[in-house]
Structure 1
Amino acid sequence: MSVEILDGATIVHFLEDEEAFNSSVGNRFARLDTNNDGLLSYEEMLKELRSLRIFETHFGIDVDSDPNELARVYESLFIQFDHNLNGTIDLEEFKKETKQMMLAMADGMGFMPIQMVLEEDSILKKAVEIDSNKVAA
């Protein structure tokens, strides 16, 4: 983990760099696709969602979460990625939804820099790295 400064422009610039975006999303997809069938099942995606612990913490402090509510949220998120509703997520669906979520995040952030703790292998960390490299060049 590292603490990074980013804003909406950092994310937008990353999304505009199709090669970097596609590579990062493709790598993340491959890590999630544990059975290497080129598709993400609900179980594979659920492991990722659970590891993020977004709904089990509040400002970094563990909270009691209703397991039934968590299951509904995770299922809803899976369906959001599964555009053709066939029960699996292919790479194109994953890219499209990841891009939409990142655009929403950029829109929400605006252009005021914020400080975030990012996982080393996260897509946002890659966005910061690419933006930093462009500024340095």
Structure 2
Amino acid sequence: MSVEILDGATIVNFLEDEEAFNAQICDRFAHLDSDHDGRLSYGEMLKELQCLRLLETHFGVDVETDPDELALVYGSLFVQFDHDLNGTVELEEFKSETKQMMLAMATGMGFLPVQMVLEEDSFLKKAVEWESTKLVA
């Protein structure tokens, strides 16, 4: 984890660079697709959904959440990704929904800088890294 400063523009600009965003999506999809069948099952997607940190916390300490409630939340998120409702998430579905989620974060964040703790392999961290390479160039 690292502490980074970002704003909505960081995310939007990263999404608008289709080559950079697509490369990150393809890498993450390939990493999650443990059986290499070109689709993500619920079990494969669950790892990614759990990284979203949907657990309630108080000052950084996790509060125990009802497992049945979490299962419902993860199931509804999976359906959100599975646009054609065939029980798996294909690359284009993963890309489309991830982009929508990131745009929602950008909108919610606005254009004032925010300091955040980011996971090293998160899409937000990738957006910050992308932005820093653009500033250097």
TM class by shorter chain equals over 0.9
Identify the residue that residue 34 of structure 2 maps to in structure 1: 34
> What CA RMSD, in Å, does the superposition of the two structures yield over aligned residues?
1.3
Query: Structure 2 stretches of 5 or more lacking a match?
Result: none
User: TM-score, normalised to structure 2's length?
Assistant: 0.94
Identify the residue that residue 10 of structure 1 maps to in structure 2: 10
Identify the residue that residue 102 of structure 2 maps to in structure 1: 102
Give the alignment of 1:31-110 within 5 angstroms: 31-55=31-55, 57-110=57-110
Identify the residue that residue 24 of structure 1 maps to in structure 2: 24
Report deviation, 1:110.
0.4
Change (3 A) 1:97 1:83: same
Which one-letter code corresponds to 1:88 in the other structure?
T
Structure-2 separation of matches of 1:76 and 1:17? 29
User: TM-score, normalised to structure 1's length?
Assistant: 0.94
Identity of aligned residues (%): 74
Structure-2 separation of matches of 1:65 and 1:84? 30
Structure-2 separation of matches of 1:68 and 1:116? 29
Q: Deviations over 1:88-134 (max 9, x none)?
A: 00000000000000000000000000011112222111111111121
Question: SS of the residue aligned with 1:117?
Answer: strand
Question: SS of the residue aligned with 1:29?
Answer: helix
Change (3 A) 1:44 1:58: farther
Change (3 A) 1:59 1:103: farther
Structure-2 separation of matches of 1:125 and 1:58? 23
Identify the residue that residue 117 of structure 1 maps to in structure 2: 117
Report deviation, 1:30.
0.8
Aligned residues, how many? 137
